[in-house]
Amino acid sequence: MFESLGNLIAFQLLRLGPESHLGAAVQFFVMDLTKIFALLVIVIYVMGLLRAMLSPERVRAFVRGRPDWQARGMAVTLGAVTPFCSCSSVPLFIGFVEAGIPLGVTFSFLIASPMINEVAAVILVGVLGWKLAALYVLAGLLVAWFGGIAMQAFHPERWVEDYVWKIRMGETGAIETDRSLLGRHRYALGEVREIVGRIWIWVLIGIAVGALFHGFVPADWVTTHLGGDDWYSVPLAVLLGVPLYSNATGIIPVAEAMLTKGVAIGTTLALMMSVAALSLPEMLILRKVIRWPALALFAGVLAVAFTLVGWTFNLIA
Amino acid sequence: MKTFKVLGGGCRNCEVTADLISQAAKEAGVEIQLDKVTDMAEILGHGVMSTPGVVLDGKVVHAGGIPGPDQVREWVKG
């Protein structure tokens, strides 16, 4: 449906040739723009209706004092299913520390949160198919799980700012929520407005980049420079992703364009993860609670993990 | 007079939340006191980890996102 809409606008309305660069780019842009935004609205609305009340306050209460693997499982799940405003990472971090939850578990959460969310997962299924979506989510969960364990091995406690240890968290009563159908509908609409309002620009940029890549970058060039089995293409993709920042949803159209041009799957996954999870703004926010050595280590552990994921998937494929 | 506190580290969503509340108060013609709390110790002191949060007369009434306009109107007049 979205493909034929793209064809209609690019080839019939604008009379561009399907073989021309511009025609291919416009067709891709229209197709992805309509498809991704339609999916975004539907997914966020349905999630809002279900209103998964897995709040971090609840998870914190549940996790404290549990064995590491249980705590880590909950932390990764929470990170994966709930989208947070990135400014929440500081109070979340402090709240976890205050509950005596190991730092490695908290890092697992911080890795999972930007990289995986249910909205990105559904859009991945819609754009790239369920196999790739499952691979991405699985790889993300693995990186979050083992990345947190790797961080713990370096005893990051020594780099936590002193004031963090002194904060005492208060108890709060349950917040009343409107559970009627109308209340849920209103909440869901609010969620659509809020989340789409926050991420649309990243998605639009991603679609534009994907469309340009699709229309103007020749497939031969890609296979020569990015598609080969050269070992360095994966770490290169990870490095490229560091200065680039986008929302996990915004990077999907770029990945789509790369895959259709023959970029290796592991290389594409590595770039996606790097763009979504390794970002300077996020690091600067975390600087409020941990010092530079821990941040550098965090970035290093993630870069190594993404590279390993990329190599593994390139080998399997 | 009702006192509101918006809990949050100063991100855009926190600003939007504070604006919503003062706007609703103005529309209802109600005098309120509105403080923006950015101090982490105080935010967590209220038991809130997901910001923005809203405290009305010392009680946490909302956490983890921008509140709905209807909700805000309830708080202001209620």
Q: Which residues contact A302 (CB under 8 A, 6 or more apart)?
A: A111, A143, A147, A274, A277, A278
Q: Which of A254, A248, A245, A315 is nearest to A282 (CA)?
A: A245
pLDDT at A176 over 70: no
A79: alpha, beta or left? (left if phi > 0; alpha if psi -120 to 50): alpha
| pLDDT at A24 (0 to 100) | 85
pLDDT at A213 over 80: yes
Query: Is B17 marked active-site?
Result: no
CB-CB: which of A85, A172, A176 is closest to B47? A172
Domain ranges of chain A: 55-164+200-316
Domain ranges of chain B: 2-77
How sure is the predictor about A168, in pLDDT bands with cuts at 50, 70 and 90? confident
For A240, A247, A257, A258, A287, the CA distances from A267, given in Å and listed in that order, are 11, 18, 13, 10, 29
Query: Is B26 marked active-site?
Result: no
| pLDDT at A144 (0 to 100) | 94
d(CA A45, CA A186): 10
For the stretch A272-300, pLDDT in tens is: 899 888 877 778 888 989 999 999 999 99
User: Choosing from B14, B21, B25, B43, which is the catalytic residue?
Assistant: B14
Q: Mean pLDDT, to the nearest integer, of A158-170?
A: 88
| pLDDT mean for each 10 residues of chain B (78 residues) | 88 87 91 90 88 89 83 85
pLDDT greater at residue A94 or residue A215: A94
A90/B45 Cβ within 8 A: no
For the stretch A105-157, pLDDT in tens is: 999 998 888 888 778 888 888 888 888 889 889 999 999 999 999 999 999 99
Note whether B64 contacts A: Cβ–Cβ < 8 A. yes
Name the token pair of A291: 């010092």
How sure is the predictor about A52, in pLDDT bands with cuts at 50, 70 and 90? low
How sure is the predictor about A85, in pLDDT bands with cuts at 50, 70 and 90? low
Greatest mean pLDDT among A73-77, A190-194, A307-311 lies in: A307-311
Q: Mean pLDDT, to the nearest integer, of A84-97?
A: 80
Strand order from edge to edge, sheet including B53-56: B32-37, B2-7, B53-56, B59-63
| pLDDT at A86 (0 to 100) | 65
User: Choosing from B9, B11, B28, B45, which is the catalytic residue?
Assistant: B11
CB-CB: which of A98, A175, A191 is closest to B63? A175
Q: What is the CATH number of domain B2-77?
A: 3.40.30.10
